[in-house]
């Protein structure tokens, strides 16, 4: 137990000293700080308040699923957050002392690397050991996938071999220099980690806070979807749904509750949350999004409420303590299966997945199954429903990037304090600037502008 405490003290030092060269000058001796027993390594991964929270919120802050009034904008705590909201090219990360997206991402990767190092160093074997290795690999992959959506360009097979990727930290030794990989190398590592993890993991874990085989399949499907590899995305989605395809019936929820959806409901395969941002809880939703929901669509009352000045506020969070969820859940899997089938020109199969989801979202007896006569019509319906179902779930920024890669031509516009800002399709600012102190510390190249 004492060694676990030592490791967590070491992690605290990382968080407070990450930007200091003196810290990196110290020679690490991980053997002095790693636990000896399998159970101790599982306990490190069980620190859900450390590993399952504080996923990147930069994409949600930058996306068009919410808006800020001038008063909201002027009241933001950090100048960097204001700059991020209006898509400035640099200085968009709050200080590391406040726990910015970069630091919280890499602190979690450090824990995963420490566990993997220790499992190899101690040569642990057996089902329990395999499950622990699988969790560490899959969680590391999840963090890298999350990070790639913020600091990398959309995956393009034509340029992924040269586009700047992430520094791939695969060893807990803090003395190894950070070097940026390519986007292809980043995604290859994510895929490798998940493919290695899947056979090691239990199909279902004792808690939705612990990553399972079903959740890892879901993450691998999400990875391939972001890459535009719809065949592999569909195969992995189906593998996840073969383990768990449960859906909530929104008719059983109380629309008058402050937060009608339970955080550990039966759709959740892995519970994780973004970093808490006051401007995202409650998020203010544009009226044109609210009007997309039919009056018989229960999401209109489950997801939203109006305040005293008639602003539409989001309440479809699975909790109100942490930030918005970025969980792997079955509603996303149904939508991925629907989209991928249609993109592979299997229109009826895709619409069937969509209808199986939506009938659980509408008032009993009112839902009329949707149909489509062409691939384009089916895709338009499914992507509209994807946005409606996965609102404030940390996916819109990634979707904008991949849609524009495919020629969707979506331009974002904000007006703040009388000035209008725009973000053009495929703009270089879709790869958010890495915190400047990290660039200075490591000498890595900054994202092009």
- Structural domain spans, the chain: 32-442
Q: Return the ∠ at Cα 218 (arms to 215 and 221), rounded to 5°.
A: 155
pLDDT in the model for residue 95:
85
Q: Is a pLDDT exceeding 90 seen at residue 386?
A: yes
Q: Is a pLDDT exceeding 50 seen at residue 20?
A: no
Flag the least confident range among 26-35, 104-113, 171-180, 326-335: 26-35
Q: pLDDT tens-digit profile of 277-321?
A: 999 999 999 999 999 999 999 999 999 999 999 999 999 998 767
Q: pLDDT tens-digit profile of 52-108?
A: 999 999 999 999 999 999 999 999 999 999 999 999 999 999 988 888 999 999 999
The residue with tokens 């879709």 is 430
Sign of CA dihedral 330, 52, 186, 7: negative
Rounded CA-CA distance 153/78 in Å is 25
- In this prediction, residues 163-178 reach a mean pLDDT of 95
Give the pLDDT band of residue 17 (cuts 50, 70, 90).
Answer: very low
pLDDT in the model for residue 58:
98
- In this prediction, residues 223-240 reach a mean pLDDT of 98
The mean pLDDT of the chain is 92
Flag the least confident range among 262-266, 348-352, 378-382: 262-266
Q: Is a pLDDT exceeding 60 seen at residue 40?
A: yes
pLDDT in the model for residue 394:
97
Which one, of 42, 101, 13, lies nearest residue 432 by Cα?
101
32-442, what's its fold? Answer: 1.25.40
The two tokens of residue 298 are 């229960």
CB 326 within 8 A of CB 149: no
- In this prediction, residues 109-120 reach a mean pLDDT of 97
pLDDT in the model for residue 12:
41
pTM value > 0.85 = yes
pLDDT in the model for residue 321:
72
If phi > 0 it is left, if psi is from -120 to 50 it is alpha, else beta; for residue 249 that is: beta
- In this prediction, residues 190-207 reach a mean pLDDT of 97
Flag the least confident range among 8-12, 51-55, 135-139: 8-12
- In this prediction, residues 342-360 reach a mean pLDDT of 98
CB 446 within 8 A of CB 87: no
Question: What is the distance, to the nearest Å, from the Cα of residue 73 to the centroid of all Cα atoms in its chain?
Answer: 24
Flag the least confident range among 92-96, 132-136, 389-393: 92-96
- In this prediction, residues 370-377 reach a mean pLDDT of 98
Q: Please write down the long-range contacts of 171-176, taking CB distance under 8 Å and 24 or more positions apart.
A: 171/113, 171/117, 172/28, 172/30, 172/110, 172/113, 172/114, 172/117, 173/28, 173/30, 174/14, 174/23, 174/24, 174/26, 174/28, 175/24, 175/27, 175/28
- In this prediction, residues 164-181 reach a mean pLDDT of 96
- In this prediction, residues 195-215 reach a mean pLDDT of 97
Q: Is a pLDDT exceeding 90 seen at residue 23?
A: no
Flag the least confident range among 65-74, 93-102, 138-147, 188-197: 93-102
Return the percentage of the chain with pLDDT > 90, whole number. 89
């Amino acid at each position: 137990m004492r060694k676990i405490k030592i490791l967590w003290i070491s992690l605290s030092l990382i968080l407070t000293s990450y930007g200091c060269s003196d810290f990196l000058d110290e020679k690490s001796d991980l053997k002095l700080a790693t636990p000896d027993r399998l159970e101790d390594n599982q306990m490190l991964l069980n620190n859900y308040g450390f590993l399952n929270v504080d996923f990147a919120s930069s994409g949600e802050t930058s996306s068009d699923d919410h808006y800020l009034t001038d008063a909201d904008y002027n009241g933001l705590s950090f100048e960097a957050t204001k700059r991020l909201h209006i898509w400035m090219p640099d200085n968009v990360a709050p200080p590391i002392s406040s726990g910015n997206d970069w630091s919280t991402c890499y602190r979690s990767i450090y824990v995963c690397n420490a566990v993997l190092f220790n499992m190899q160093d101690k040569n642990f074997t057996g089902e329990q050991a395999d499950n622990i290795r699988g969790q560490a690999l899959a969680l590391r992959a999840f963090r890298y996938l999350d990070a790639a959506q913020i600091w990398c360009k959309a995956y393009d097979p034509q340029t992924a071999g040269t586009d700047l990727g992430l520094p791939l930290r695969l060893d807990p030794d803090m003395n190894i220099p950070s070097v940026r990989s390519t986007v292809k190398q980043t995604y290859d590592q994510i895929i490798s980690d998940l493919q290695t993890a899947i056979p090691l993991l239990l199909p279902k874990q004792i808690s939705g806070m612990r990553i399972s085989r079903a959740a890892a399949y879901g993450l691998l499907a999400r990875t391939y979807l972001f890459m535009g590899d719809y065949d592999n995305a569909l195969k992995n989605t189906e593998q996840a749904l073969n383990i768990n395809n449960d859906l909530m019936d929104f008719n059983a929820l109380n629309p008058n509750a402050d937060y009608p959806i339970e955080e550990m409901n039966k759709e959740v395969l892995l519970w994780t949350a973004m970093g808490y941002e006051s401007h995202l809880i409650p998020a203010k939703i544009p009226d044109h999004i609210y009007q997309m929901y039919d009056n018989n669509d229960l999401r209109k009352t489950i997801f939203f409420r109006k305040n005293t000045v008639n602003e539409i506020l989001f309440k479809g969070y699975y909790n109100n303590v942490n930030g918005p969820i970025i969980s792997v859940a079955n509603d996303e899997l149904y939508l991925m299966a629907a989209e991928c089938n249609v993109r592979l020109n299997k229109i009826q199969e895709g619409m069937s997945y969509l209808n199986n989801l939506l009938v659980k979202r509408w008032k009993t007896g009112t839902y009329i199954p949707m149909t489509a006569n062409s691939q384009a019509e089916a895709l338009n319906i499914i992507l509209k429903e994807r946005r409606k179902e996965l609102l404030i779930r940390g996916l819109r920024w990634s979707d904008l990037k991949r849609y524009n890669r495919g020629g969707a031509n979506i331009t974002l516009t904000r007006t703040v304090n009388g000035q209008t800002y725009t973000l053009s399709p495929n703009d270089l600012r879709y790869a958010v600037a890495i915190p400047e102190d990290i660039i200075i510390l490591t000498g890595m190249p900054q994202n092009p502008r």
